[in-house]
Structure 1
Amino acid sequence: MNLTLLKSIQGKKKELDKLRPLPVAIVDKLREQFYLEWTYNSNAIEGNTLSLQETDLVLRQGITIGNKSLREHFEVINHKEGIDHIEKIIKKKTSISLNLIREIHGIILKNIDDEEAGVFRRTNVRITGATHIPPSAAKVYNLVDELVEWYYINNKKLSIPELAAWFHYKLVFIHPFIDGNGRTARLLMNLILMQEGFPPAVILHLDRKKYYRVLREADNGKTSGFLDFVGKSIERSLIIYLNSIRTDSPKNKQGYITLKEATKYCDYSLEYLSLLARTGKLSAVKFNRNWMTTIQAIETYLEEVSPKNE
Structure 2
Amino acid sequence: MDDTDTPLIQEELLARIDEKMNRLNSMRPIPADASGRLHEEMRLVHTYHSNAIEGNTLTLQETKIILEEGLTVGGKSLRGHLEVSNNAKAFDRVEELAKKKHAVDHVTIQEIHEIVTRGILEDAGSYRTRNMRIKGSVKTPPDWSQIMILMDELIEKIAESQAHPIETASFLHHRFVAIHPFIDGNDMVARLLTNLYLISRDYPPVVLKKEDRGKYYKSLKAADAGNLGPFTNLIAKAVDENLTLYLSISGGNDELLPLKELALETPYSQEYLSLRARQGLLDAVKIGKTWHSPKRAVEQYLSEHGKKEV
Q: Tell me whether the two structures share a fold, i.e. TM-score over 0.5.
A: yes
Distance 1:103 1:111 in 2: 14
How high is the TM-score relative to the length of structure 2? 0.81
Alpha-carbon distance, 1:165 to partner: 1.1
Which of 136, 156, 159 is residue 152 of structure 1 equivalent to? 159
Correspondence 1:214 to 2:214 = no
Letter in 2 for 1:284: I
Shift of 1:284: 1.1
SS in 2 for 1:248: helix
Deviation (angstroms), 1:116: 1.7
2:83 is paired with a residue whose SS is helix
Match for 2:140 among 125, 133, 154? 133
Deviates more, 1:191-200 or 1:5-14: 5-14
How far is 1:248 from its partner?
A: 2.3
Deviation at 1:162, TM superposition (A): 1.1
Identity of aligned residues (%): 38
2:106 maps to 1:121: no
Change (3 A) 1:132 1:283: farther
Q: What's the RMSD between the two structures over aligned residues?
A: 2.3
Change (3 A) 1:6 1:121: same
Cα distance per residue 1:31-58 (max 9 Å; x no partner): 1111100100000000000000000000
Q: Which amino acid aligns with 1:116?
A: D
Matched, 1:201 2:209: no
Aligned partner of 2:187 in structure 1 is 182
Residues 1:258 and 2:258 aligned together: yes
- Aligned 8 A contact 1:41 1:205 in 2: yes
Would you say 1:166 and 2:164 are equivalent positions? no
* Correspondence 1:240 to 2:248: no
Contact map agreement 2:66 2:81 (CA 8 A) in 1: yes
By how many angstroms is 1:241 displaced? Answer: 0.9
Once the two structures are superposed, residues 85-127 of structure 1 have per-residue CA deviations (whole angstroms, 9 ceiling, x without a partner) of 11221344433211211111011100111x2201111222222
Distance in 2 between the 1:158 and 1:18 partners? 23
Offset at 1:265? Answer: 3.5
Q: Distance in 1 between matches of 2:262 and 2:135?
A: 37
1:57 to 60, 65, 77: 65
1:178–1:229: structure 2 CA closer, same or farther, 3 Å change rule? same
- 2-structure distance, mates of 1:131, 1:222: 18
Q: Which has the larger radius of gyration?
A: 2
Gaps of 5+ in 1: 251-255, 268-281, 286-290, 296-310
Contact map agreement 1:132 1:216 (CA 8 A) in 2: no
Distance 2:71 2:254 in 1: 38
CA contact (8 A) 2:24 2:247 kept: yes
| Contact 2:58-2:80 within 8 A present in 1 as well | yes
Q: Are the aligned partners of 2:260 and 2:270 in contact in 1 as well (CA < 8 Å)? A: no
User: Aligned pair in 2 of structure 1 residues 221, 91: CA closer, same or farther (>3 Å)?
Assistant: closer
Task: Give the AA of the match of 2:224.
Answer: D
After superposition, the C-alpha distances for 1:253-283 in whole angstroms (9 at most, x for unaligned) are: xxx333754996359xxxxxxxxxxxxxx94
Q: Which moved more, 1:53-62 or 1:237-246?
A: 237-246
Q: Which amino acid aligns with 2:287?
A: A
Q: Secondary structure at the match of 1:117?
A: coil
Deviation at 1:78, TM superposition (A): 0.3
> Given residue 293 of structure 1, which amino acid in structure 2 is its aligned partner?
W
